[in-house]
Each structure stands twice: as C-alpha cells, then as structure tokens.
Structure 1
Amino acid sequence: MPRKEILKETRRLTEPFVVTNGKGFRLKDFDPRETRGLIEKGEAAQLLERGVRWLAEEQDMLYAQDRWSVLLVFQAMDAAGKDSTIKHVMSGINPQGCYVSSFKVPSKEELEHDFLWRYVKRLPERGCIGIFNRSYYEEVLVVRVHQDILAHQMLPPELVSERIWDERLTEIANFEDYLTRQGTVVLKFFLHVSKEEQKKRFLERLDQPDKNWKFSPSDIHERQYWDDYMAAFEEAIRATASKRAPWFVVPADNKWFTRLVVAAAIVETLERLDLHYPRVDAQKKVGLATARTALLQEKKQGAPSARTRKA
C-alpha cells in the first residue's frame, strides 16, 4: 500500500481522539470501548506490526539527524495498560535512542526542588525518544485528589492557595510550549479505561497467580476516588491541550486497539517532521571516495603470509 494511503489510515484512527483545544472538552464524550469499526484482532495485529516497522524507520532517521527530540507522556488510571502499550508499540525501537522514565513517590532531594525539577532531568536529548510512564501531570492529578501530599512539598504556606491547581496547569502548559519551541515534540496519551474494565483487570490479577505481583491493595483504595480523578483528568486536558502539545484520549478497554492508536499517533507525528538521514556534502563525498579506495587496495594486497607474520 502506498505511503500516502497508509497515512490516511492512521489519521482515520487518531483523528477522533486528538485534543488540540481544551475549550469545551468533556471526558464523557469519549467512549473507552471505541474501536473505530475494527473487530478483528488479527487485522489490528497486522496494522500494529506495520506501524512498529515504520516507527523503527522514523526513529533511525530521528537519531541520525540529531535535531528533534520526542517526549511521549502516558497517563492513566491503574490497569489501563500503560506498561503493555509502551512494550508493544516501542518493540522495534533501537534502545540506544529511547528510554523510559517511571516516576514514583518523590525522594527527599526531589521535594527540595520545584515540582518540575525531577522531570526536567529526564527530558530526552536531541535525536532521542523519551517516554514518561506517569509524569509531571501527577502534580495536578494524584496531588490534587490527595491534597495532604502538598504538606510534604515544603511550599511556603502563603503559596498554597485555592488557585494552586490553575497555576500549576498554566505552568505545565507554558513548560510544554517552551519545549516545543526548543525542538522537543510533545505527545500526551490518556489511556481512557472504564471503571468496569478496571475491575475486570483487577480480578484477573487476583485470580491468576502469574499476575498477583501486579496487584496492590492501594489499587482498591484509589478506586474510591474514581470520580475525583476523572474530574482532575478532564481539567488537566482542558487546560493543557494545544496544537503544539496535543492530548490523545485513547480508548483503553481493548488493549489491542489502544496500542494501534498510540502507534498511529506517533508515526503520523514523526512523518510530519520530514526526517531524513544527514546529507553528504561534496567535501565529505571526496573523503568517502578516498576511504573506499583505501579499503579496496587493502583487499588487493591481501593478508600477510604466515612466514611474514613470524618474522
């Protein structure tokens, strides 16, 4: 299939889920069960395989060109499939140019700095893809839902006002705008899983011994705050969605579809960058020709004989 036709397919997959303007955004307008008419997992697997190959090609040029960097942000409720999506979509990527950062509870050193500090340290360098498995958005999600966490962030009391969440969202939006103007492509994925599907996956973790390790009692505790989290996600997307740093609200009840949409979004974005391998100028070509001649002459001369080596 021609490349242009493939791009049309990817746009058909991603267009309904991309948010570039948060005005009027409502999470309830997005169905976690959506599959865009795809019902065959086999078909989806073939499309994903094609996307993974294409992504590998784009990443190779991204690394060689050494001009752009890419930041992929993944946010979701527990059991939405962040880890498996990253694993499958990035399966063809050269590890040399890609790394994943998972952010847990901040350390004492991290609490001594501003809330963006520890994330800035893990930003991808030029030519590389950086993946944030959870991110600075936790500061307006879990911290907003559990506001007692603010007490441990050592902020001066007079700065912890009712406007702190609006302020942080504005700072995040400005931060992402800054990154895009420095050559970092920012794509944000909210894996939108339903509460019913999350329950099903939690039960699988409890019932299947090989999945027991994935379960934590805190998972059940956090389900009590489901509506609070949905409100926080909605507000975060509404305040930070932009053309430069779009959100993708990806249906996550069917993991095979989730992976397909994420792969399509990344490929489509990299394709728009018009990546290419560094072009060789005339002077460089002369050097390459000289090197080729030297290698061919070396082959004609052959390896030294055993007698010569002993001497």
Structure 2
Amino acid sequence: MKKINIGDFKIQSQINIKDLPTTYDLGADKKDIKEAMRAVSKDLADIQNAMYAHGKYAVLFCIQGMDTAGKDSLIREVFKEFNVRGIVAHSFKKPTELELKHDYLWRHYIALPARGKFGIFNRTHYENVLVTRVHPNYLKYENMPGIKSIKDVNEAFWTRRFEEINNFEKHISDNGTIIFKFFLNLSKEEQKNRLLRRLNRPDKQWKFSADDLKERKLWDKYQACYEDVLNRSSKPHAPWFNIPADDKPTARYIVAKILYDTLKTYTDIKEPELPEKEKANIGLYKQELENE
C-alpha cells in the first residue's frame, strides 16, 4: 500500500479548488485498505487512551463537505475503536432560538472538547462562511447590529468573519487544542451517483430530501466558497486537508493516517506514572488483594 505523505493533502499555499483531486490511488485492493484501516483505528485508540490520562491536550476534529460526501460514515469508521468516555461529537444544524441570541461562534465555543478528549465537529463553524455566504438571507435571523438588509453584507463583513474564525482557532490552539480540519472533496458526478443510490434503495431513502437537489444547483457557488475557506483559513496551527472523497474507504484511511501520524509527533503525550511512594508499594497492594 502506498505510504501516506501528509504534505500531499495539507493546504499550504493558495489553491484553485478545481486543481484538487477527488480521487486517490492507494495501490491496494478494498480488503487491504479495510485491514489497514482497522489497524490504524486501533493505534489511534491507544493514543486516545494516553491523551485521556495525560490530560494536557484536546483534539478538535473538524469535517466539512458537500451533501453525500461521507462525513457520518467516515466519523463512524475512524473512531470506532475509541472509548466513548474520551470523545464527544457535535453535528451542527440550523441554529436554535437560544443560539441565535448569542454570537455565531458561541455554540462552537461551548462544544469544545476538554483537555484529554477528542471533539468532533460534523459540519463546523465554517458553515458561517459557507451556507450563509451562499444564502446570505439566513443572516437576518442573527439579528446583528449594523445589518439591516442583505445589502449591508459586503466583502468587509466576510473578511471580518474570517478574521474572527482564525482568531478563535489561534486562541484554542495556544491553549492546548490540536486542530484538524478535513475537507471531503467530492466530485459533482459522484454526488449524483450517491443521490441516485439513495433514491433507488428503500432503506436509504430516508436520507434524501428535495432540498438536496436545490443545493446541488448551487454547486459552483459552494465550490467558490470552499476555495475561499481553504485559502483564507489554512494555518500552521489549524491546517486544512483536502481529502479525495470519491472513494469512501480510501478517504477514511487517509484521514485516520493523517490523525495518527500527526499525533505521534507529540512525544510529550504519555500516560502518567504512579507517584514514587505508590510505585514502591505495588507489591504490598497486590499481596493485600490476593489475600482477601
């Protein structure tokens, strides 16, 4: 199987989204990819256990992509070996009445993982420069000062919002959160195939909504917004990774390997040792239990 080079997927310079691949050849068959995925998932679980005991870092796992890109199934497969005590997942939908009474980042702040835990943002704070940019009329519900109509939402507004998001990520990174941001890059043709599969399979039809087709008609607008997101907000402390997503098993393995290879570079993440006094008395503790 081809060795994964993190640099091949990390957004490190200005990109044109049309030049980013949606497919990737691992040089292996489905069985080998499945076995490799199982192995790296278990390795990640070992790191999670050490991080939970260590309690100094949190991990924020952010995933974005067009409808049908495979976000839910990727999360399921990457984290299937994890202990539930060390992971918290959030799927951000339409803001609630309470959330709309706060600034747009509030609901993301309160969902951040504690040190020692993995937090998953399935759809993320970037929805605020993606969906709301494609549908700026959604902003009227935020009831923001200075925004009386859509005409008030200009380029300066979006520049400020990107700056706020970048500052948000820099702040949590400086305070011990390791940030991963994955863009599942799906081709328009593959999205069509997946929507058709949903319609053709009775057990999958519940996933389909007529709104999926309405949003598909806005494909080019979404792609332009994603391109802007990748170019404006991929930073050394919070990089974006372009994940070719036309093949789900390949995408899952690439994401898992990027997570594992990156976290392994944190050599200070270790399970704490017992205090010297207790370590010296291990024999006595064992004897006490065995003599019960």
TM-score in terms of structure 2 length: 0.94
Superposed CA offset, 1:247-275 (max 9, x none): 11100000011001010011112111122
Aligned position for 1:292: 286
Unaligned runs of 5+ in 1: 1-5, 299-311
Contact residue 35 and residue 251 of structure 1 kept, 8 A:
no
Q: Which of 85, 109, 114 does residue 96 from structure 1 map onto?
A: 85
- 1:124-203 equivalences in 2 (<5 Å): 124-157=113-146, 160-203=153-196
Residue 307 of structure 1 is matched in structure 2 by none
**Higher Cα radius of gyration:** 1
CA distance in structure 2 between the partners assigned to 1:171 and 1:289 by the alignment: 55
Equivalent residue, structure 1, for 2:233: 240
| Structure 1 residue 114 corresponds to structure 2 residue 103 | yes
- Tell me the residue number matched to 1:72: 61
Give the counterpart of 2:212 among 190, 210, 219.
219
Amino acid of the residue matched to residue 291 of structure 1? Y
Which residue does 1:24 correspond to in 2?
A: 14
Deviations, residues 39-66 of structure 1 (Å, cap 9, x unaligned): 4111211211111111111111111111
Q: 2:24 aligns with which of 7, 30, 34?
A: 34
Q: What is the CA distance between 1:179 and its match in structure 2?
A: 0.9
| Residues paired across the two proteins, number | 287
SS in 2 for 1:78: coil
Distance between the aligned counterparts of 2:168 and 2:281, measured in 1? 43
2: distance between equivalents of 1:185 and 1:46? Answer: 27
Matches within 5 A, 1:207-286: 207-274=200-267, 275-286=269-280
CA apart distance, 1:134: 0.3
Question: Partner residue of 1:44?
Answer: 33
Amino acid at match of 2:14: G
Query: Given residue 145 of structure 2, which amino acid in structure 1 is its aligned partner?
Result: P
- CA shift for structure 1 position 296: 3.3
What are the ranges of 5 or more consecutive residues in structure 2 without an aligned counterpart? none
The structure carrying a bigger helix percent of its residues is 1
Q: TM-score, normalised by structure 1?
A: 0.88
Match of 2:3 among 9, 17, 23: 9
Shift in Å at residue 32 of structure 1?
A: 0.4
**Greater shift after overlay, 159-168 or 63-72?**
159-168
Residues 102 and 132 of structure 1 are in contact (CA less than 8 Å); yes or no, is this contact kept in structure 2? yes
Q: Tell me the amino acid that sits aligned with residue 206 of structure 1.
A: L
Aligned equivalents of 2:153, 2:254: Cα separation in 1: 38
